[in-house]
Every structure is written in structure tokens, then in C-alpha cells.
Amino acid sequence: MTMIWIAFILACSSLLERTFLCIADAQTCVDEQRFTEQLLYVGQEEAPYRLSCPLLHPPPEQLHLTWLKDCLQLPGPSPSSPPQAPLFLEFPHLSLKDQGNYTCVVSDNGTASFTVRLTIKEPQCSKAPRYQPSGGLTRLWGSLGSTVKLTCTALLHWDPSEEPCDTTLHWSKDGDPLTNHTVYPQNSSSWSPSVGRLRVSSLLEVSLSTQTDFGLYRCTVRNISSDFSLQSATTTHPSHTAAVIAAVLLLLILAIAAAVYSKWHLNIKLWYRNSYGDYELNDGKLYDAYVSYVNNDYDRKFVNFILKPHLESKSGYKLHLNDNDVLPGSEPSAELLMNMSRSRRLIVVLSHAYLEQDWCSNNFRQGLLHLLELSQQPILIMMEGQTKCMRHEIKQQLREHQHSLTILTWRHNSVTPSSVFWKELALAMPRKMSFTRQSAGDPQTLLHDDKDPMLTLDPDYLDCRSDADPAGDLGLRLPVYKTMASKAPVLPAAPITTAEPKPSDIDVSDLGSRNYGARSDFYCLVTEEDI
């Protein structure tokens, strides 16, 4: 270990010795007896600047002159002396990189050298001043008979050791210098806030007696200026009152619109849906909604005395009520699937009794997924008082599938027809066709402009007898065709045969659920024998 430390110390000593030798060799070209210094400033010396060798006074007839910079010979003719006059170094433009030790070596029956140290600095006077607060255009307004004060402040670079330079602020108006201090009083001051900095300030008072006193005033120092535009307040002063009033009105309108939308957004959506929404009449559906509920006292009263009267009597929808399980323990029956496929919407009264069913209590998640398979956007009606008693698992599943569900809550104030509950339910239901008195008729004829003579909008075009069987649509009707010009006599009634009636091929199982409220007229069937 000791040998390693000794070897390391010897290596460091050798390295230091070589460094000192290099430094000594670098300074061998500098003779302290023949050495001088020169301080130059960029931009203040006459170009080109020539550095002469002090050993050449007077210049010998035959000599060999060599220039060195920092003990390194200068290559090439630049910045060395020209061939015809090798007595000086010529610098086209002095810069900070030209400073250093310049040594001239003269060989004439001997060798002599002289070193000139050039110190080049950038004068503080050449640096641009910085105006405060800025050097841009400042706009001021005034009226005739008043006095406007223009304040110009600049921060200058300043070095007391250098030659004094201009530190005075000069005022001008429209390009003409203001030399009359009686008409335009000026008050100037200067102080040094820090080393190398000088702050100068000038205050110009302008008395606005005529229109010629308005114009462009300029404050200049070291060829850098700051402008002041003095304009008449009666003609050119911009008024921000209109902009402020417009901004306030805009904010007020936005606030009112936000308040109106937050309170009436359901009415706005309903109006837009009823005005521009799509109809769902030609989809082959018989019912507008399939209502699933539990057949207990509370749910049965809610469906039959609240939900059904409002949707059918007030809104004109056709409902199919079913108190059986939507998803029993086994697969749903064909009749259930057929009835749900005939309905445009699925409404589930998700009460506490409904959730106690086997398919809900055992596996609510699986039952909810089956429910979403039967209907794309089922409507779930929940009771406000029973929501708090709902299991956490059910609440979590409803939150996870809320984008596929329409969840409505029946509250204590939902009885009124204008409540939020009925508006949200109306938005979830399909758009209804509204018929006016002038356009009453079959929706198929109204929408498709059907030209079939069996579907007509003119009640006078056919002369039909009264229905023999008002309870159904299978009674015997013998219509007679009549022309538009004259009425034909009514044919006598057909004789009644005693033959045994044949069983009808028409399915009459759903006659009791048919709704003729949307029809304002009926058509008659005309056979070839009748004509």
C-alpha cells in the first residue's frame, strides 16, 4: 500500500512539473523590461486600427519582423502586416476577441522583442438605454385649456472611468426639437440606483392652448427614443362604455338562459321532441309500452289508478299490463316474448315487492342482464321511500348499467301532471301522432298518402249502413257504392239464410284490447257482387 501511495505522489509531481514548464515556456516571449499596455474601446477607435512595433523607431533598412499573439505566431497575412509595410498589425474592426498580448520579434544582427497588451472593452455609452415602463408608444388625451405632463425615464449603462458620453434626454415634437424651455418647461434629474447604472428622468409640461399642441412627442437619448401620442379627448378618446354595457348584457343573458334551462330543460326537450322527433308508427308494434309489475295492493293501485290513466287517457298511449314475472325461474315463455316484442317500451315498477321475487333476490345481476336483452332501454320506476331500503348490490348494479337504463323516481309530489316524473317519463316514451280536425283519418293514409279506395278520408264518398253488431267488427254490413255526381238508391237488405254459420278464419282473440280512439272514420268493404 505504501508503494502505491509513493508511485501516485511521484506521478502527480511529474505532472505538476510539466505544467509549470509549459507555463514558463508560454511566458518566455514576454520581456518584462519591454512591455506596455493599451486600453481600447470598441467603436471609438478609427478603423482600421494599426498596432505598431515600438522597436521600429526609426525602422532599420533590413530586418525580419515576426508577430506573436499570446506567444503564438500569427499565421497568414491577416491580421499580420502587409508585405510592403511590415511595420504594424492592422485590425479592420476591433472586437473583444482581439484583446491579448501581441509580441513583435525583430531579427537584425540579433533578436529583440517587445510586447503590447491590448485590453479591449465595450463602452457603456454604446449600449442601448432601457425606457421605463416601456419604450413603445404611449397614448395620452387632453382637452384645450389644460396642461398635460409627459414623463420620460430611461436606465442607462454608465461607467465613470470612461470618457463622458451623452446622458441627457432630448424632447422633440413631430420631428422638430423643443428648444424653447419657456413654452415647454422641462425638469430633468438623474441618479445612480446601482453600480454601472444611471437613471435619468425628464418631465415635459405641455399647455394645450391650440390644436397644434396635439401631436407626437418624442424623448431621445443615445439615438433611442420613446414616443408619446397626445390626442384631443373630445374627438379621439375611445369610449369603453358601450363595450362594458354589451359585456354586462351578454353576461346577464347567459345567466338568464342558464337559469331558464335549469328550471325548464325538461319542457324544452319535450317541445323539441314533439316538434322534430321521429315517429315510431311503422315498426309493426301494437303497444307503446309493456308494463311489468307485482300483483299486490300497492303496485296494482299505482299501475291501474295512476300510471295507466295518465299514459292512456291523457297522453294517448296504449299499454299492455302484465303482473307475471318478466323473468321467471326458467326461460321466459313464448307468449311473454311475443307480447314484449309487440311493445315499443318496457316499463318495470321496481318496487320492494318486485325485488323480492326469486329471480331478483337470488341473482339480480343475471336478471338485469336478461332484462337488457329483452329491451334496449328499459324504464325502471322506483319508489322514493323504498329506495333507501334497497340492497347495496342492487344499487351498485344499477349504477354500473345506468347508461342503458332510464331510472325514474316516484316522489310524494309526483301526482301532479306537471311534475318532473311525468315529464321524464314522456321523454322516455315514443312520440305520439297528433291529429287535427282537418286531417283526421287513418295514420297509414295520412303518412303514406295511400290511394287505395278502401282507405279514404272523405266520409261522403261511401254510404254505409249502421253496424249490425256494435260489440265487434264481424257484423254484417252491406255498403252500396255511390258516385260523386248523384246518389244511388240504397239496396234492400240481403235475405237471411238459415244455413249453419261456418267457423270464421279471423283471429278474434285480441278484439277486446283493440283501441279505436285514434280513428275518426271507418272504411267499408265493397265486394264485386255489391257493385
List pLDDT tens digits, range 352-393: 888 887 766 667 887 788 778 878 889 999 988 887 788 888
Contact 96, 122 (CB under 8 A): yes
pLDDT, one tens digit per residue, over 189-216 is 887 877 778 889 999 999 988 888 899 9
Environment class of 103 (CB within 10 Å of its CB; exposed 0-12, middle 13-18, buried 19+): buried
Task: Give the separation between CA 426 and CA 431, rounded to whole angstroms.
Answer: 8
pLDDT of residue 47 exceeding 70, the answer is yes
Task: Kindly state the average pLDDT of the residues 505-512.
Answer: 50
Q: Using pLDDT thresholds of 50, 70 and 90, give the confidence band for residue 158.
A: confident
Of 275-279, 328-332, 403-407, where does the model show the most confidence?
403-407
Kindly report the number of other CB atoms within 10 A of residue 422's CB atom. Answer: 20
Query: What is the Rg, in whole angstroms, of the alpha carbon atoms belonging to the chain?
Result: 54
3-class DSSP state of 53: coil
- Of 39-48, 243-252, 272-281, the range with the lowest mean pLDDT is 39-48
In this predicted structure, the answer to whether residue 288 has a pLDDT above a threshold of 50 is yes
CB-based contact 322:332 (threshold 8 Å):
no
Average pLDDT, the chain: 74
Say how many residues make up the chain: 531
What is residue 434's predicted lDDT score, i.e. its pLDDT? Answer: 63
pLDDT at 464: 46
244, pLDDT greater than 70:
yes
Strand order in the sheet with 35-41: 35-41, 111-121, 100-107, 64-69, 72-73
- Among residues 176, 210, 193, 85, the alpha carbon closest in space to that of 132 is found at 193
Return the pLDDT at 6: 57
CB 229 within 8 A of CB 236: no
For 127-157, what is the HEC assignment? CCCEEECCCCEEEEEECCCCEEEEEEEEEEE
Q: Report d(CA 407, CA 72) in Å as an integer.
A: 92
| Distances, alpha carbon 74 to alpha carbons 78, 116, 296, 479, 529, in Å | 8, 15, 113, 128, 130
Total-model pTM: 0.41
Distance of alpha carbon 500 from alpha carbon 405, whole angstroms: 55
pLDDT of 157 over the 80 cut? yes
Predicted confidence (pLDDT) per residue in 102-140, tens digit: 888 887 666 778 888 888 887 777 788 888 877 678 888
In tens, the pLDDT along 313-367 reads: 888 899 998 876 555 545 666 777 888 888 888 999 988 888 887 766 667 887 7
DSSP H or E stretch at residue 114: strand 111-121
